[in-house]
Structure 1
Amino acid sequence: MNGVKEAAVVLRHRQFRSFWTGRVVSSLGSAAAPIAIAFAALEAGCGVEWLGFILALNIAPQVLLLLVGGVLGDRVRRDLVMVIANAVSGVVQVSIAILILTGVAELWMLAASVFLLGVASAFFQPASQGSIVQLVPAELRVAANAVLRLPLNVAKVLGPALGGLVVALIGPGWALAFNASTFLVSVFFLASIRLPQPIKSKASALSAFRAGWMEFSARSWYVIMVAQSTVTVLMWLVGFQLFGPVVSHSSLGGAFAWGLISGGFAFGLVGGSLVAVAVRPQRVGITVSVCLAAQALPLVALAFVAPLWLIVAAAVFAGVALDISIVSWSAFFQEQIPEGLQSRLSSISTFGQLLPVPIGYVLFGLLSGYFSNTVMVSLMSGILVVAALLPLLLPSIRHLRLGQATEESVAGADVLSPELLAKTSATEGSA
């Protein structure tokens, strides 16, 4: 069955369509929100240091609570977790939008809102990641990941461009109001999903986490790839999300220019989804590493304040590469990790990726007072490339491919399989 036919088959599953619609709608508003938040803070007079602090407040609760969210996602119905998390996000965005539109919002209120949004995300993401395997058959998971990411990435194209235009014309408050409405519409669709109730477990949440950690550490290939992404995610987020708006605000014309750059990156993500569906790369280790290295291109263009069209083009290419790596890695993860462990291991990997980010936002924000933007962003792009390609020195990473049963994953499953742990009263049932 080719990629197009598989995509059509995936969308025939009613519950997947509801999940797909809820995710796409909320993604459209969420893509506009970072621009609105960044420029609301910049217009309030905060510099790179304070913007870094605000961005850190969004990531910090995700770092602190993701592991809790991962355990919860393997113990509670995942559809309920997603509905509650998006409802909270919608209420928070409505509140801050009203405060901005009425002219009474202060910087601490903006900081508090992004913190609460981070809390909601910490529970939503692991539950969402673990839901795919319950919504479609195993043979359709590659297509399901690509079909999901394609419209999500289209939303990310439209969201930044629309958000940048709205912020430039009528201010950030209306962009956040739009984001709030998409969260609440998303709740309607996600509420129509009925995923299976997880099997009751006698294990405590701490025991469940320990089991998940042992499964994680039993797979050296997984540990290495998480370490790789820990560095590349840090360099990308700080370089693009922190310094990108600052460079746009000071040298490229403001919010609309940043909207075009962010939209270009998201447009590339759409292209990456199409390529992933059509080509279905098999060499996962090589694909992920090379594609992550491509994220340095827009950072270099921003560092030297290249012409806007060139920055947008670099962002498009980086987006294509990144989404190919995400689709490939998601399929490999779902193939290698037992269903009842996916939320926990997903949260552990995301925890590792996000752990240094709040510190990075604050630290690089402070260092910006001593070094130019060119020096800072150039340094980050160089570190990103080295971290992305270094794992390819290991044959075990170069040989990772779809359809492969790694010795370590088999060994880990033998030691800590859900069936074995159930007999010792220390297991999570599959959701």
Structure 2
Amino acid sequence: MTTTTARHEQEYGPRGASPLRVPVFRRFLLAHLISATGSAMAPVALAFAVIGNGGGAQSLGIVLAANTVPTVVFLLLGGVLADRMSRSRILFLGNLGAGAAQAAVAVLVATGTASTLTISVCACFSGVSAAFIAPAAQGIAVRLVPKEQLQQANALVRVPGNAVKIIAPVVGGFGVALAGPAWVLAWDAATFVVAALLLLGLRLGGSVSPRGGVVGDLRAGWAGFRSRSWLWSYTVAGTAVVAAWLAGYQLLGPLVAEASYSGARSWGLVQGAFAAGLLAGTFVCLVWKPRRLMLVCVLAGSGIMLPLAALGLELSLTCVLVAAVIAGIGLDVAIVSWSTVMQQQVPDAELGRLGAFNAVGERIAIPVAYLLVALASKHWTSQHILLWCAGIILAATLANAAVRDVYRIERA
């Protein structure tokens, strides 16, 4: 046995072993699981906190916008810092900040002093924290496990979040009904703090030394982003795909469920089916290791057009549920494949910034899509718009699949 092999087996276990044999990865996974249990319950509690304060759809929309916009605005700065500082420390501070924001909301709601303005301010701070957490988390796995274990590691990180998405909203709903939204929000705050302490304990070394100013780092990151056609083409396609998906699924889905199916009950089943598909897709990634990862990523992600098409055609609820399961499987396969491609193809020193450029590109058109759908709904039915959304996803996928470099990216 060579010295390199002996060192590898001492740190990571035998080659081909599970990432779960790596102690620091288990710690990271535990932190993610704890945080996910609170994050999956929080939307229900936040919605009812706004409603309980006398707010309606407009107030909730303001709160959600206050959370989303800062994330997009600060993502690029988060990417720069992820390449310049200790990523474990960024995750620690980010989770601590998110926990403080949720704790403030919990106190406001519990004391009866909450308003749309105060909740929005807290949501804004939470969104800023998310902007720093996401790029740093993108580059954590590559420092915890060897490259041959990256797909398994990325899939295992997805398991806790996908699993709790099935049951946590139900538990959160019961918690809000029995104890009130303040207690559920307090639980979410506590999970962020515990996760922060676990992440600080990772003590990951090897942070990238800064080479210049923030603007210079952004320029270098943009040059790296443009030089990879598989990356920028996927981001451009994702701008259309993500916007069409969210506008169709989140905005029009509940409306069509109310008009053509049995309302909230049917929509709850669709969401449960989609979450079950996400969890199933995670387990697919644990056993299936395709060679052309980038092509699989592009094609698998297109499955999200199926529930939109099924709702647009007003197929039976059974067909919609099957489509939602397939969409969930495909989307999770795409997410795990994409994370693995990024970690294998992008140098560690650029991972934060290039991931941030991708994230901004995929999010930037979402508000525009919501506005366009609102305007189009005055002239077309929701079903027609859903079919257009499905068509946009299909067209963007085919265009992306035609990019030559998509076929060239293979598993490292």
Whether TM exceeds 0.5 here: the answer is yes
Aligned: 1:352 with 2:353: no
Q: Which amino acid aligns with 1:356?
A: A
> Partners in 2 of 1:105 and 1:241 — Cα distance?
26
Q: Structure 1 residues 199, 177: closer, same or farther in 2, change over 3 A? A: closer
Return the match for 1:267 from 276, 287, 294: 276
Q: Which runs of 5+ in 1 are unaligned?
A: 404-431
Aligned-partner Cα distance in 2 for 1:310–1:174? 38
Q: How does 1:163-182 map to 2 (within 5 A)?
A: 163-167=172-176, 172-182=181-191
Aligned-pair CA distance for 1:39: 5.3
Residue matched to 2:4: none
Q: Which moved more, 1:218-227 or 1:156-165?
A: 156-165
Report the counterpart of residue 100 of structure 2 in structure 1. 91
- Residue 238 of structure 2 corresponds to which residue in structure 1? 229
Query: Which residue number corresponds to residue 287 of structure 1?
Result: 296
Q: For 2:170 and 2:397, how far apart are their aligned partners in 1?
A: 29
Pairing 1:71-86 to 2, within 5 Å after superposition: 71-86=80-95
Verify: 1:127 aligned to 2:136, yes or no.
Answer: yes
Superposition map of 1:212-361 within 5 A: 212-244=221-253, 252-254=262-264, 258-303=267-312, 310-361=319-370
Classify 1:294/1:29 alpha carbon distance in 2 versus 1 (closer, same or farther; 3 Å): same
> How many angstroms does 1:106 deviate by?
2.5
Q: Hey, what does 1:112 align to over in structure 2?
A: 121
**Is the CA contact (8 Å cut-off) linking 1:32 and 1:175 kept in structure 2?**
yes
Moved more, 243-252 or 311-320: 243-252
* Residue in structure 2 matched with residue 206 of structure 1 by the alignment: 215
Partners of 2:307 and 2:135 in 1: CA distance: 29
Residue aligning to 1:426: none
**Corresponding residue number in structure 2 for 1:390:** 399
**Residues 127-164 of structure 1, C-alpha deviations (whole Å, 9 max, x = no match):** 01111111112222122112212223212222233334
Unmatched segments (≥5 aa) in structure 2: 1-13
Q: Does the CA contact (< 8 Å) of 1:56 and 1:361 recur in 2?
A: no
State which of 151, 155, 163 in structure 2 corresponds to 1:142.
151
Whole-angstrom CA distance in 2 between matches of 1:167 and 1:258: 20
CA separation of 1:329 and 1:239: change in aligned 2, threshold 3 A: same
1:63 to partner: Cα distance: 1.3
Cα distance in structure 2, aligned partners of 1:137 and 1:381: 38
Query: Which one of the candidate residues 153, 176, 192 is aligned to 1:183?
Result: 192
1:394/1:36 CA distance change after superposition, 3 Å: same
CA distance 1:38–1:180, shift in 2 (3 Å): same
Q: Check 1:355–1:287 CA distance in 2 against 1; reply closer, same or farther (3 A cut).
A: same
Structure 2 counterpart of 1:401, which letter?
E
Deviation at 1:371, TM superposition (A): 4.9
Q: CA deviation at 1:116?
A: 2.1
Structure of higher RCO (CA pairs closer than 8 Å, 6+ residues apart): 1
Q: CA deviation at 1:83?
A: 1.0
Alpha carbons 2:86, 2:205 under 8 Å: kept: yes
Letter in 2 for 1:299: L
- Which is further off, 55-64 or 16-25? 55-64
User: How many aligned positions are there?
Assistant: 397
CA distance in 2, matches of 1:396, 1:85: 35
Q: Distance in 1 between matches of 2:154 and 2:248?
A: 27
Identity %: 36
The 3 A distance-change label for structure 1 pair 396 and 198 is closer
Question: CA contact under 8 A between 1:56 and 1:358: conserved in structure 2?
Answer: no
Offset at 1:271?
A: 0.9
2:52 is aligned with 1:30:
no
Q: Mark the CA change 1:380 to 1:291 in structure 2 (over 3 Å): closer, same or farther.
A: same
- Contact 1:285–1:397 under 8 Å retained in 2: yes
Shift, 1:167, TM fit: 4.9
Give the TM-score normalised by the residue count of structure 2: 0.85
Q: Match for residue 56 of structure 2? A: 46
Match among 160, 163, 168 for residue 159 of structure 1: 168
Residue 363 (structure 1) shift: 4.6
Q: Does 1:193 align with 2:202?
A: yes
Contact 1:163-1:259 at 8 Å conserved across structures: no
Letter in 1 for 2:334: S
Distance change (3 Å), C-alpha of 1:36 and 1:363: farther
Does structure 2 conserve the Cα–Cα contact (< 8 Å) formed by 1:160 and 1:260? no
- 1:186 maps to a residue whose letter is A
What TM-score results when the alignment is normalised by the length of structure 1? 0.82
Judged with a 3 Å threshold, the aligned counterparts in structure 2 of structure 1 residues 19 and 183 are, in CA distance, closer, same or farther, namely same
C-alpha contact 2:55 2:116 (8 A) present in aligned 1: no
- 1:227–1:352 Cα contact (<8 Å) kept: yes
Question: Shift of the alpha carbon at 1:107?
Answer: 2.6
- Is 1:374 aligned with 2:412? no
- C-alpha distance 325-142 of structure 1, shift in aligned 2 (>3 A): same
Query: 2:11 is matched with which residue?
Result: none
The residue aligned with 1:65 is 74
Counterpart in 2 of 1:411? none
The superposition leaves residues 25-65 of structure 1 with CA deviations (integer Å, 9 ceiling, x where unpaired) of 11122123234444555675534x66555433322112111
Superposition RMSD in Å? 2.9
CA 1:114–1:264 in 2, change beyond 3 Å: closer, same or farther?
A: farther
Distance 1:104 1:138, change over 3 A: same
Of 316-325 and 56-65, the range deviating more from structure 2: 56-65
